[in-house]
Amino acid sequence: MNRLAQMFLMVSIVFPDLTTLALAAPQTGLNQSFLAPAGHAGLPFLNAPAIAPIGVRVDKYLDVPESAKGPPIDSHKGYRLEQLGRGLYMITDNAYQSMFLVYETGVVVVDAPPSYAAKLNQAIAEVTKLPVTHLIYSHSHTDHIGGAGLIGGHPIIVAQEETKRLLVRGADPKRPIPTVTFDKTYELKVGSQRLELSYHGDGHEPGNIFIYAPEQKTLMAVDLVFPGWMPFRRFAVAHDLPGWMAQVDLLAKLPFDKLVAGHVARLGTHADVMTQIDFDNDVKSAAAEALKETPFVDGINPADSGNPWALTDDYTARVAGRCVSTLTPKWSTKLAAFDAFVWDQCYAMEQSIRVD
């Protein structure tokens, strides 16, 4: 059943006498005789994309392409370790990613996602008996560091100063306040190991940093690139979308071999960064063209003409629909979960283009 037919079925269950009229009526313009009650869903927009809009349940999401999958997780352990070079390991549950670095007398942990933080010490113990001496926060969000309190001991906690500001404000006992902060760059030298921390301004959120292990040629940068996958909705809920896009562009210029991106099932590569830049740019041009080509008023109930928010909502939905239709042929089979978040990306981008 196509989506229009489904909508008719849905509407006909709720308003049986209205849809009889609707089916007989032409699908263009506004027909006052079959309007749903105020505030209820009406008929779909003309030429609405086949990708289900936000809030509409789908029976089956698009299949996840092989290119997005990673090595399996041992279900007994609930995580897997992947060695990234001398003393450096990624730990992941194939949804979140963090890492730890072993040096001569201790361990540096970078992030502690709550989804597997209770197993972090067990994972480290697979590799070394040395204690955790340092903890680095990539940024303040609890889904990446909310398991910090489970590591125990009294590690030195390093973060960018904006991260400290946000954590002081949040006063969350699960996210201990950083003990060492920096502005632009910070070099952590422990034994023969080294990590370079750098801050490139607001993007995902203030304080989100890059963590680079030069010997292992591994870069950890969280919530910017989603290897093989669609970015999380609204470009990973970017606090500043132009800043976020600039940071993804910057990743392409850095000399890493392995990218620990904080999410999804596998490591990232330069090719993944380039794919995402291509996608981000396509969304930007699709949204810009949709904003330009879509009439601001088209088919809205004249009774709503004095309601600027209603006009904007109707216009924005038609802009987003046009943007989704432009992106679907190229991207729906290329990035996993395209259908889950493409509407969000188009809404976020048209908003950013209009106001940023």
Q: Which residues bind Zn ion (CB under 5 A)?
A: 141, 223
Closest CB 237 distance from Zn ion, rounded Å: 7
Cβ at position 352, least distance to Zn ion in Å = 18
Residue 101 CA to residue 90 CA, distance in Å, equals 9
Contact 213, 85 (CB under 8 A): yes
CA-CA distance, 74 to 83, in Å (whole number)? 16
The CA dihedral of 178, 219, 282, 329, to the nearest 10 degrees, is: -110
Amino acid (1-letter code) at residue 301:
N
By C-beta, is 138 or 218 nearer to Zn ion? 138
CB closer to Zn ion out of 103 and 235? 235
Q: Which is nearer to Zn ion, 44 or 227 (CB)?
A: 227
Query: What single-letter DSSP state applies at residue 198?
Result: E
Nearer CB in complex with Zn ion: 107/245: 245
- Min dist CB 139 to Zn ion, Å, is 6
In angstroms, give the least distance from the CB of 100 to Zn ion.
19
Q: How far is the CB of 239 from Zn ion (least distance, A)?
A: 9
Please say which residue, 191 or 201, places its beta carbon nearer to Zn ion: 201
Q: How far is the CB of 251 from Zn ion (least distance, A)?
A: 16
Residue nearest Zn ion, CB atom distance: 141
For the stretch 184-191, contacts whose Cβ atoms lie closer than 8 Å and that sit 24 or more positions apart, written own/partner, are 186/158, 188/108, 188/134, 188/136, 188/158, 190/101, 190/103, 190/104, 190/105, 190/106, 190/108, 190/133, 190/134, 191/103, 191/104, 191/105, 191/106
CB atoms near residue 81 (< 10 Å): 17
Which one, 107 or 209, has the nearer CB to Zn ion? 209
**Coil vs helix vs strand at 128:** coil
Task: Pick between residue 223 and residue 314 the one whose CB is nearest to Zn ion.
Answer: 223
Q: What is the smallest separation between the CB atom of 195 and Zn ion, expressed in angstroms?
A: 20
- Beta carbons of 226 and 261 less than 8 angstroms apart: yes
